[in-house]
């Protein structure tokens, strides 16, 4: 079955440092989504990438989708305490018969120290 690996599992940074999390799929993806989950909360959608090599930015967050559509990254510039949480990628796969399946990575837990 499809697998999505995400690294690192944990990242501890000082406020102002940059942060990156990486996702890698065992098979080609149709799209990839990124979510953020605050401690005690539920996952909240951040963005979806669909095209090969796509790059999207949201303020200090930069999302990339690899040329082969098998990997993706999320980069946060100059982290702030509000960035604390767990970041998940979710790879979308088109199933035989037209269905769509979303497989989540294991997440990267980000902690930001003052």
Q: Which stretch binds other proteins (CB under 8 A): 13-21, 54-62, 75-83, 96-104?
A: 96-104
| Using rule CB under 8 A, residue 94 touches other proteins | yes
Under 8 Å between Cβ of 62 and 71: no
Write down how long the chain is. 114
User: Which residue in the set 18, 45, 53, 78 belongs to the binding site for other proteins (CB under 8 A)?
Assistant: 45
| Using rule CB under 8 A, residue 104 touches other proteins | yes
DSSP-derived secondary structure letter, 30: S
User: Which residue in the set 8, 9, 12, 57 belongs to the binding site for other proteins (CB under 8 A)?
Assistant: 9
Alpha-carbon span 8 to 21, nearest angstrom: 6
13-to-18, 39, 56, 79 alpha-carbon distances in Å: 8, 17, 23, 8
Q: Which stretch binds other proteins (CB under 8 A): 12-20, 55-63, 67-75, 88-96?
A: 88-96
Instruction: Name which of residues 47 to 86 contact other proteins (CB under 8 A).
Output: 48, 50
Half-sphere exposure of 24 (CA within 13 A, CB side): 5
Residues at the site binding other proteins, with contacts judged by CB under 8 A: 1, 6, 9, 30-31, 33, 35, 42-45, 48, 50, 88, 90, 92, 94, 98-107
């Amino acid at each position: 079955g499809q697998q999505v690996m995400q690294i690192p599992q944990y990242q501890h940074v000082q406020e102002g440092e940059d942060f990156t999390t990486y996702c890698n799929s065992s098979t080609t993806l149709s799209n990839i989504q990124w979510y953020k989950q605050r401690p005690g909360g539920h996952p909240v959608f951040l963005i979806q990438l669909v095209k090969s090599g796509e790059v999207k930015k949201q303020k200090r967050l930069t999302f990339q989708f690899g040329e082969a559509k098998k990997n993706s990254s999320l980069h946060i510039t100059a982290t702030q305490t509000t960035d604390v949480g767990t970041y998940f990628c979710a790879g979308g796969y088109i199933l035989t018969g037209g269905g769509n399946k979303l497989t989540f990575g294991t997440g990267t837990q980000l902690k930001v120290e003052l």
